Every structure is written in structure tokens, then in C-alpha cells.
Amino acid sequence: MSTKNAAKVSAPKPVDEKITINLGPVDLGQIELLVQEGFYANRTDMIRTAIRNQLAAHADVVRQVVSRKTLVLGIQHYTATDLRAVQASGETLQIRVLGLATIAPDVTPELALATIESLTVLGALHASPEVKAALAGRIH
């Protein structure tokens, strides 16, 4: 049985993921001050801008690691049709994504197990709870 990485382009529009952070009162106060002074529309705007600036500052490192680890950068979407084609070819997938990986609702746990050898997602994985449970031992 051979292994390959497959790219699918028919992805749904991603939704933002929510994260929670803890800030000290001094940092939070400084953010509030910048918002009050009109530098940012709100706290979220300031925090997103700060994150994007840090990601831009480290963009070369991210590109090097993506290349070294053979990660797909962006959105990867898999449907039952995609996975049945992989199954028919006698191959399995090693999915490696930096961004968003989605496994469509029409994918059964059995089909996922038969076609997905491993799954590494740095970002978010959207799949049914049943598919996630089935692949739990293969998610890195």
C-alpha cells in the first residue's frame, strides 16, 4: 500500500477560531488605553494586529518549517468522494496541514479509517465527532 499527500481545493469558507488568553492588569490597561485613544477599534482588533505583526516577523521561519515538514499551508478539504478515490487507488493519506483541515459530514468513520493513515493539523480540524473519535489514535 503506498502513501501520498493529496490536496483538495473545494473547501468551505473557514470560520474564525476563538481563543482565550490571560493578561495581567498592566497589559490589559495598556490595550484599553490604545483603544480609548482610537488606535484600535476594540481589544480584539488590537490583539489580532499584534498577532499578525508577530506572524509577519516570523514569516521566513514559518515558510522554512512548512517546507521541511511538508505541510500544506492553508485549507485542506476532504469529501467522501475524495476519500473513496483514494481507497479505490489502494493508497492512504498522510494529511499534514498548517491552517484548516476539514473532513466533510458525508465521510463515515469507516471510510476515514480506511483512507487516512495519519493526520497532523497545526490550526483547526473540522470533522464530525464520530470521525474525530475514529481517527483519535492517528491524530498528531
Residues 52 and 71 in one domain: no
**What is the per-residue pLDDT across 54-100, written as a single tens digit (0 to 9) for each?**
999 999 988 888 766 678 889 999 999 999 999 999 989 999 999 99
Task: Answer whether residue 67 is part of any domain.
Answer: yes
**What is the per-residue pLDDT across 45-62, written as a single tens digit (0 to 9) for each?**
999 999 999 999 999 988
pLDDT confidence tier of residue 44, bands split at 50, 70 and 90: very high
Q: Whole-number mean pLDDT of the chain?
A: 89
Q: Looking at the 3D structure of the chain, how many domains does it have?
A: 2
Nearest Cα neighbor of 5 from 82, 81, 60 is: 82
Q: What are phi and psi of 39, to 5 degrees?
A: -70, -30
d(CA 127, CA 42): 32
Residues 53 and 106 in one domain: no
Contact between 104 and 77 under an 8 Å Cβ cutoff? The reply is yes
pLDDT confidence tier of residue 2, bands split at 50, 70 and 90: very low
Average pLDDT of the residues in 115-126: 95
3-state secondary structure 17-68: CCCCCCCCHHHHHHHHHHHHCCCCCCHHHHHHHHHHHHHHHCHHHHHHHHHH
Residues 80 and 31 in one domain: no
d(CA 100, CA 77): 8
Is pLDDT above 60 for 8?
no
Residues 76 and 53 in one domain: no
Give the global pTM: 0.63
The residue range of the domain holding 40 is 25-57
Task: Answer whether residue 20 is part of any domain.
Answer: no
